[in-house]
Amino acid sequence: MTQKSSNQMWGGRFAAGPDAIMEAINASIGFDKRMAAQDIAGSRAHAAMLAAAGIVSDSDADAMREGLLTVLSEIETGDFTFSTALEDIHMNVEARLKEVIGAPAGRLHTGRSRNDQVATDFKLWVRDQLDAVADALQALMRALVSQAEAGADWVMPGFTHLQTAQPVTWGHHMMAYVEMFGRDLGRVRDARARMNECPLGAAALAGTSFPIDREMTAQDLGFDRPSANSLDAVSDRDFALEFLSSASICAMHLSRMAEELVIWSSAQFRFVTLSDRFSTGSSIMPQKKNPDAAELIRAKIGRIFGANVALMTVMKGLPLAYSKDMQEDKEQVFDAADNLMLALAAMEGMVKDMSANRESLEAAAGSGFSTATDLADWLVRVLDMPFREAHHVTGSLVAMAEGKGVDLPDLSLADMQSVHSEITADIFEVLGVHNSVASRTSYGGTAPVRVREQVARWKELLG
C-alpha cells in the first residue's frame, strides 16, 4: 500500500492517497489528453458565461480565459507535464491553471462537474471526427467517380456467388461503391445533426442552483441547443455509439472493396494493377507485388467492429446517471477513428492510383456464358416464348457450348437451330458483351448511358 497525500482536487474527505493500482486503474490521462483542446474550449466558454451571468467577476473570468490559452499552448508545444495523480485531462488542466493564474482558477468549476465537462469535451471531439470522416469519404467518392467516368463503357463480368453472371460496366461497378459510401456520408451527417446538443451545465447530474446561461455556452461551442435533461446529458454516449456504428458500416464497405481489390489484382484475374505506391514486395519471391494496403484495410475493420461492440457492452448495464465505466468510451472511439481515417485515406490512394486492365476485363466479360440471359431475353422478345421456356432452351445451348468447349457466340446458327428451329441469325447481336451492357438501360442499370448520368449526378453532389 503506497501512502500518498490525498488528491488535491477532491481529497478533502480523504486521509490517505490511493494505492498505486487504484491510481493506475483510475487514471485516464494517458489517453484523454487527446481532448485537451476541447477541454480548454469548453472551460473558456464556461468562464465567459460565469462572468456574463454575474457568477464570477469579469477580471477573474478574463484571467481564467487567458490562463487557459497559456495552458493550451504549453500542451501543444509539449511543455506540459501530465500527472497520473491528477487522473484526467480535466484536472490536469485545472491544476495547471491554478499554477499559472493562482486563486481565480478555483472559481472555474462553479456550476459544472467533470460529468458534464467530459460529456462536452468528448462530444466536441467526436463532432470534429464526424466532419473529418465526411471529408475523407467525399475524397474517396471523388476518386471512384473519376474511375467510373474513365471506364463508363468498359465491360467486365458481373458476379453473383462470385460466378460470372452478366456483363456489367466498370463504371457501374465503381458507382456501386459511390452509392455505398454516399449512404455512409448520410449516416455521418445524420449523427452529427442529432448529437449537436450541449451537455455543459447539466453539472453532476441534477443541474445547478447557480443562474447559469446554458444557451450561451451551447452557442459559443457551436451546438444547436443545450441538452434538455441533465440526467440524460451526463449519461448519454449515443453520439459515440452512432459514430462507431456508422464507422462500422463504412468499414464493412471498405472491407468489401478491399477484398475485391485483392481478388482483382491477382494473376488469375488481372482486372486491376495497383500502383507501386500502394503495394509491397516479398523478401523471398522477387516476382511478387502484394496488395498489402487492401489486406490491412480488410483486417483493421475488425478493430472498428470491436470498438462498437465494446462500448455497447460498457453502456448496456449502466443505471442513470454517470458511472466511471463510461471512462472506457474514449480509447475505443479514438482507436476506431484513427483506423477508419487511415483506411479511408489508403483506399482513396489505391483507387486514385490503380489502373483497370481494360482488355482483361473485356476478355473475362465474354467468358463463362455471361450473355445467356440476353439470349433467353431474345427468345422471349422475338419469338414470344414464355421466359421459363426460354430459360430451358438457353440452358440446352449453354450445355452444347460447354460440350464443345466454346462460348455462346461461337456456336453456329445450325447448332442453335438444332435446339430451336425458329432461332435466326439476329440472335448473335445480343451475344456480344457491348450490346449486352448497352441494352440494360433500365433506371439504375449498367448501360453506359445510365452510368454517365450517375457520374454527372454525383459530380454535382460532390462539388
Stretch that binds ligand ARG, among 11-19, 255-263, 321-329, 422-430 (CB under 6 A): 321-329
* Cβ partners under 8 Å of residue 123, min gap 6: 195, 198, 199, 239
Catalytic residue among 282, 355, 396, 412: 282
Contact by Cβ (8 Å): 273, 265: yes
Instruction: Say which amino acid occupies 326.
Output: M
Binding ligand ARG (rule: CB under 6 A), the pick from 60, 88, 184, 220 is 88
Phi first, then psi, for residue 198 (nearest 5°) are -95, 120
Cell of 193: 445533426
| Contact between 279 and ligand ARG per CB under 6 A | no
Instruction: Say which amino acid occupies 84.
Output: T
x/- letters, 327..346, toward ligand ARG (CB under 6 A): x-------------------
Residue 31 or 80: the one with the smaller Cβ distance to ligand ARG is: 31
Q: Quick check: is 282 catalytic?
A: yes
Nearest Cα to Cα of residue 170 among 434, 459, 429, 442: 434
| Contact between 118 and ligand ARG per CB under 6 A | yes
| Contact between 227 and ligand ARG per CB under 6 A | no
Instruction: Say which amino acid occupies 387.
Output: F
| Contact between 96 and ligand ARG per CB under 6 A | no
* Cβ partners under 8 Å of residue 154, min gap 6: 169, 170, 171, 356, 358, 361, 362
Cα–Cα distance, 463 to 460 (Å, whole number): 5
Contact by Cβ (8 Å): 224, 196: yes
What ranges in 151-269 are assigned the alpha helix state H? 170-195, 214-220, 230-235, 238-264
| Contact between 233 and ligand ARG per CB under 6 A | no
Residue 118 or 251: the one with the smaller Cβ distance to ligand ARG is: 118
Q: Quick check: is 161 catalytic?
A: yes
Binding ligand ARG (rule: CB under 6 A), the pick from 115, 208, 246, 370 is 115
Residue 118 or 262: the one with the smaller Cβ distance to ligand ARG is: 118
CB of 94 to ligand ARG, least distance (A): 12
| Contact between 112 and ligand ARG per CB under 6 A | no
CB of 95 to ligand ARG, least distance (A): 14
Cα–Cα distance, 256 to 258 (Å, whole number): 5
Residue 235 or 255: the one with the smaller Cβ distance to ligand ARG is: 235
CB of 230 to ligand ARG, least distance (A): 14
Q: Which residues bind ligand ARG (CB under 6 A)?
A: 28, 32, 88, 114-115, 118, 322, 324, 326-327
